[in-house]
Chain A
Amino acid sequence: MSNELDRAANALFPSTGNSQVGNVKFFRGRRREITAEQMAEQLNRADAQIRAGECKPNTNIDGDLTA
């Protein structure tokens, strides 16, 4: 198995069977041809940023809907 895919699968579903994850889904990007490796890398990338405290939840993605 590839590195990024392996890393994502191990993080989500450890071989110990003690997974905390109940579902994982993706929104495809603009390019039609992508690899499983590239998609897994997106998950690993986001996990790393969140672990590093670089990203905080946005509590107002809607903004002013009357504007």
Chain B
Amino acid sequence: MRYAALYQYSNGQTSDAISVHDLAGRICAFHPDVGAYNFVPVELDPEVSLGHLKYERDRDSPYEGPFRVANIRYDKTLNRCWTRFVCCKELMHVFDSAEERVDDRNKFLKLMKEFESIPMKADISPMFASELSAEWMAVIVLCPKRLRDVLRPQWLDKTLSNYDVALRLKIPEVTIKSLMDDYYDTALAELLEK
């Protein structure tokens, strides 16, 4: 399954707020490398991290062959909008390419150092770049074009505030500025090729 297929599913729904569980279920049904998912609230330091993905083989699986589970942990103090956004962003990493995946020790250590140093664009690894792409993937799948086309004119003429849009979509208010930016169309076009 490609990201484009998940986006088309989201864009084909009729509701304002897209269910993250529905997206995860869709991925499990159609992505050959994802057998199951879990969203687990844990105690984290939200100053450092709001959540993470640990995508791993299920050793207890009764199925033959690899059965991988997307285990997504999120800070249990997050409100619903943030929980949905953090979980959705981490879920988007099931679409990571082979070079974007952190699947060995050296890649893990490199990514962790990049969180610390935040390198310049030309120097970032594919693993770190995918952290940024996944945020856009989450924003767009939670507000596909059919919804944005309705909301944006009202946001531009100030009929709707950032808060109003966030409330409709059930996503964090801080994402709305990006969502309404012209770059949305560029990001969408690029991600549909992914």
Interface flag for B2 (CB, 8 Å): no
Q: Which of A20, A25, A49, A63 contacts B53 (CB 8 A)?
A: A25
Q: Which of B20, B40, B48, B83 contacts A38 (CB 8 A)?
A: B48
**What distance in Å separates the Cβ of B175 from its nearest Cβ neighbour in chain A?**
13
Q: Do A40 and B112 contact each other (CB < 8 Å), given the known contacts A22-B56, A25-B53?
A: yes
Chain B contact patch, size range: 35 or more
Q: Mark B156-192, 1 if CB is under 8 A from A, else 0.
A: 0000000000000010000000000000000000000
Interface flag for B42 (CB, 8 Å): yes
User: Secondary structure at chain B's binding surface: helix, strand, loop or mixed?
Assistant: mixed
CB atoms of A63 and B80 under 8 A apart: yes
Interface flag for B44 (CB, 8 Å): yes
Which residues 41-80 of B sit at the A interface, judged by CB distance below 8 A? 41-57, 59, 68, 73-74, 76, 80
Q: How many residues does chain A have at the interface if contact means C-beta atoms less than 8 Å apart? A: 44
CB atoms of A49 and B43 under 8 A apart: yes
Interface flag for A3 (CB, 8 Å): no
Q: B residues engaging A (CB < 8 A)? A: 15-17, 19-21, 33, 38-57, 59, 68, 73-74, 76, 80, 83-84, 86-87, 89-90, 93-94, 96, 101-105, 108-109, 111-113, 115-116, 118, 130-131, 134, 170
A13-B104, A22-B68, A34-B47 given; 5 more Cβ-contact pairs under 8 Å: A22-B103, A31-B47, A34-B48, A41-B48, A65-B19
| Chain A to chain B contacts (Cβ below 8 Å), 6 pairs | A22-B68, A25-B96, A26-B49, A42-B45, A42-B48, A66-B15
